[in-house]
């Protein structure tokens, strides 16, 4: 159960209506039952349910069951162009399951700024972390324009750009070379990067073009592919 409050042995936690409803109506728990609670910072605690009403409730943290994730190797960052039809939220959900440490919507010429619903994406990140028993909640950044992003990029961090054409190296080769380091992946919009964007990316020394095989994948599939390979090659 995700709760946005400090956790330590003996800590009392007040539950808001949403969390109380989730315990009562979804998990079908009540006073005296126990639940595993985390807040993205302090690890995981076994907590006993005290009062549980329709609009509020209380928990008492008992003991720590898992320490916070140490973050080694550093989890990858995923930068992705927003997608239509709820697929950005789907990308967030799957990226959290596959170990992404930070997610950034990136605005490109062929993408659509109006597709970004940060509140929904952040809620999806919390739900996905609960579901896959992650103890941290990846940050979802505000969206940023591709050219602004590149202008302020830390050049010590390789940016692996999924590109179906041009001088791309196989993804496995690039991920193996970057294993153990902080790394970021960029996936383009449904319509792909435009020529000006590709030219700008290719000029930058920290950009590594990576190919995901001979077929043109949908953008959400490409995001899952890069993270799955990272997990298999470099994840813990």
**Interface residues toward ligand SAM, by CB under 6 A:** 162-164, 187-188, 190-193, 211-213, 215-219, 222
Smallest distance, ligand SAM to C-beta of residue 219, A: 4
Give 96 or 222: the residue with its C-beta nearer to ligand SAM: 222
Buried b (16+ CB within 10 A) or exposed e, 87-111: bbbebbbbbbbbbbbebbbbbbeeb
Smallest distance, ligand SAM to C-beta of residue 211, A: 4
Give 98 or 187: the residue with its C-beta nearer to ligand SAM: 187
Q: In a 3-state reduction of DSSP, which class is residue 115?
A: helix
Smallest distance, ligand SAM to C-beta of residue 127, A: 25
Give 31 or 213: the residue with its C-beta nearer to ligand SAM: 213
Smallest distance, ligand SAM to C-beta of residue 162, A: 3
Smallest distance, ligand SAM to C-beta of residue 23, A: 40
Give 15 or 219: the residue with its C-beta nearer to ligand SAM: 219
Smallest distance, ligand SAM to C-beta of residue 218, A: 5
Give 103 or 137: the residue with its C-beta nearer to ligand SAM: 103
**Biggest CA pair distance of the chain:** 61
Of 101, 96, 98, which Cα lies nearest the Cα of 130? 96
Instruction: Give residue for tokens 């003996």.
Output: 10
Q: In a 3-state reduction of DSSP, which class is residue 109?
A: coil
Q: Which residue sits closest to ligand SAM, CB atoms considered?
A: 192
Tokens matching residue 36: 């595993």
Provide the strand spans (E) within 82-141: 102-107, 139-140
Of 175, 116, 104, 91, which Cα lies nearest the Cα of 146? 104
Give 6 or 213: the residue with its C-beta nearer to ligand SAM: 213
User: Tell me, what DSSP letter sits at residue 27?
Assistant: S
Smallest distance, ligand SAM to C-beta of residue 121, A: 19
Give 31 or 86: the residue with its C-beta nearer to ligand SAM: 86
Provide the strand spans (E) within the chain: 12-15, 34-38, 44-52, 57-66, 77-80, 102-107, 139-140, 144-145, 159-162, 169-170, 184-187, 207-211
């Amino acid at each position: 159960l995700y709760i946005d409050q400090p956790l330590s042995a003996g800590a009392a936690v007040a539950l808001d209506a949403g969390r109380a409803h989730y315990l009562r109506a979804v998990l079908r728990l009540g006073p005296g039952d126990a639940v595993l609670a985390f807040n993205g910072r302090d690890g995981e605690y076994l907590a006993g349910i005290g009062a549980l009403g329709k609009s509020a409730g209380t928990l008492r943290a008992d003991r720590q069951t898992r320490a916070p994730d140490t973050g080694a190797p550093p989890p990858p960052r995923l930068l992705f162009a927003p997608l239509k039809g709820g697929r950005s939220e789907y990308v967030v959900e799957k990226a959290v399951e596959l170990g992404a440490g930070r997610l950034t919507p990136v605005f490109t010429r062929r993408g659509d700024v109006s597709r970004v619903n940060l509140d929904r994406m952040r809620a999806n990140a919390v739900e996905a972390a609960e579901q896959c028993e992650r103890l941290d909640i990846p940050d979802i950044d505000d969206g940023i324009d591709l050219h602004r992003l590149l202008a302020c990029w830390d050049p010590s961090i390789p940016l692996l750009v999924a590109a179906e054409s041009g001088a791309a190296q196989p993804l496995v080769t690039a991920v193996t070379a970057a294993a153990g380091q902080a790394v970021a992946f960029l996936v383009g919009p449904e319509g792909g990067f435009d020529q000006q964007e590709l030219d700008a990316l290719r000029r930058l020394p920290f950009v590594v073009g990576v190919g995901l095989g001979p077929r043109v994948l949908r953008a959400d599939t490409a995001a899952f592919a890069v993270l799955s390979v990272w997990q298999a090659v470099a994840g813990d």
